[in-house]
Structure 1
Amino acid sequence: MSVLTRQPVSAGAGAGATRPRRRPRRQPLPYLLLVPSLVVIGVLLLWPLGQVVVMSFYKLDNVRQLRGQRPWPWAGLANYAEILADPFFRTVLRNTVLFAAANVLLTMILGTLVGLLLNRLGRRMATFVGSCVMLAWATPALTGAIVWKWLFDDTSGLVTWLFNALPDGLSTALFGRSDWTGYGWFNSPLLFFAILTLVVVWHSFPFIAVSVLAGLKSVPGELHEAARVDGASAWRVFWSVTFPLLRPVFGILIVLSTIWDFKVFTQQYVLAGGTQDRPTFMLSIYSYAAAFSPPPKYGLGAAIAVILTVILLVVTGLYVRMVLRQEENS
Structure 2
Amino acid sequence: MTVLIKAPDDAGAGGRVTPVRRRRRDRVPYLLLLPALVVIGALLLWPLGQVVVMSFAKLGIRELRGDRPWPWVGLDNYTQILGDPFFWTVLRNTVLFAVANVVLTMVFGTLVGLLLNRLGRRMAGFVSGAVMLAWATPALTGAIVWKWLFDDTSGLVTWLLNELPDGLSETLFGRAQWTGYGWFNSPLTFFTVLTLIVVWHSFPFIAVSVLAGLKSVPAELYEAARVDGAGPWRVFWSLTFPLLRPVFGVLVVLSTIWDFKVFTQQFVLAGGTQDRSTFMLAIYSYAEAFSPPPKYGLGSAIAVILTLLLLVVTAVYVRMVLRQEDQ
TM bin (shorter chain):
over 0.9
Report the AA paired with residue 103 of structure 1: N
Corresponding residue of 1:78: 76
Kindly indicate whether residue 183 of structure 2 is the aligned counterpart of residue 182 of structure 1: no
Secondary structure of 2:101's aligned partner = helix
What displacement does 1:176 show?
2.7
Secondary structure of 1:33's aligned partner = helix
Q: In the aligned structure 2, how far is the partner of 1:273 from the partner of 1:324?
A: 44
Secondary structure of 1:34's aligned partner = helix
Q: In the aligned structure 1, how far is the partner of 2:32 from the partner of 2:71?
A: 42
Secondary structure of 1:76's aligned partner = coil
Corresponding residue of 2:210: 212
Kindly indicate whether residue 319 of structure 2 is the aligned counterpart of residue 321 of structure 1: yes
What displacement does 1:262 show?
0.5
Give % identity: 81
What displacement does 1:320 show?
2.1
Secondary structure of 1:296's aligned partner = coil
What displacement does 1:33 show?
2.8
Q: In the aligned structure 1, how far is the partner of 2:302 from the partner of 2:262?
A: 14
Q: In the aligned structure 2, how far is the partner of 1:109 from the partner of 1:229?
A: 27
Q: In the aligned structure 1, how far is the partner of 2:109 from the partner of 2:172?
A: 31
What displacement does 1:204 show?
0.2
Corresponding residue of 2:4: none
Q: 1:53-87, CA deviations, whole angstroms, 9 ceiling, x for partnerless residues?
A: 0000000022x211222110011000000000000
Corresponding residue of 1:52: 51
Q: 1:298-327, CA deviations, whole angstroms, 9 ceiling, x for partnerless residues?
A: 000000000000000011111221233234
Q: 1:2-60, CA deviations, whole angstroms, 9 ceiling, x for partnerless residues?
A: xxxxxxxxxxxxxx99x987355233554333222111101100000000000000000
What displacement does 1:168 show?
1.9
Report the AA paired with residue 90 of structure 2: V
TM (norm. structure 2) is 0.92
Kindly indicate whether residue 134 of structure 2 is the aligned counterpart of residue 114 of structure 1: no
Q: In the aligned structure 2, how far is the partner of 1:40 from the partner of 1:20?
A: 37
Kindly indicate whether residue 267 of structure 2 is the aligned counterpart of residue 307 of structure 1: no
Corresponding residue of 2:272: 274
Q: In the aligned structure 1, how far is the partner of 2:194 from the partner of 2:139?
A: 12
Corresponding residue of 2:102: 104
Q: In the aligned structure 1, how far is the partner of 2:96 from the partner of 2:167?
A: 36
Secondary structure of 1:232's aligned partner = coil
Which runs of 5 or more residues in structure 2 are unaligned?
1-11
Corresponding residue of 1:244: 242
TM (norm. structure 1) is 0.91
Report the AA paired with residue 33 of structure 2: L
Report the AA paired with residue 172 of structure 2: L
Which runs of 5 or more residues in structure 1 are unaligned?
1-15
Equivalent in 18, 22, 33 of residue 22 of structure 1 = 18
Corresponding residue of 1:145: 143
Equivalent in 261, 264, 276 of residue 262 of structure 2 = 264
Q: In the aligned structure 2, how far is the partner of 1:278 from the partner of 1:321?
A: 36
Say how many residue pairs are matched: 313
Q: In the aligned structure 2, how far is the partner of 1:169 from the partner of 1:242?
A: 45
Q: 1:110-135, CA deviations, whole angstroms, 9 ceiling, x for partnerless residues?
A: 11000000000000000000000000
Q: In the aligned structure 2, how far is the partner of 1:253 from the partner of 1:317?
A: 15
Q: In the aligned structure 1, how far is the partner of 2:43 from the partner of 2:306?
A: 19
What displacement does 1:167 show?
1.4
Q: In the aligned structure 2, how far is the partner of 1:119 from the partner of 1:227?
A: 17
Corresponding residue of 2:60: 61
Instruction: Report which stretch shifted further, 168-177 or 85-94.
Output: 168-177
**Superposition CA RMSD, Å:** 1.8
Secondary structure of 2:313's aligned partner = helix
Corresponding residue of 1:40: 39
Corresponding residue of 1:287: 285
Instruction: Report which stretch shifted further, 320-329 or 205-214.
Output: 320-329
Report the AA paired with residue 18 of structure 2: R
Equivalent in 131, 134, 141 of residue 133 of structure 1 = 131
Q: In the aligned structure 2, how far is the partner of 1:176 from the partner of 1:122?
A: 44
Corresponding residue of 2:296: 298
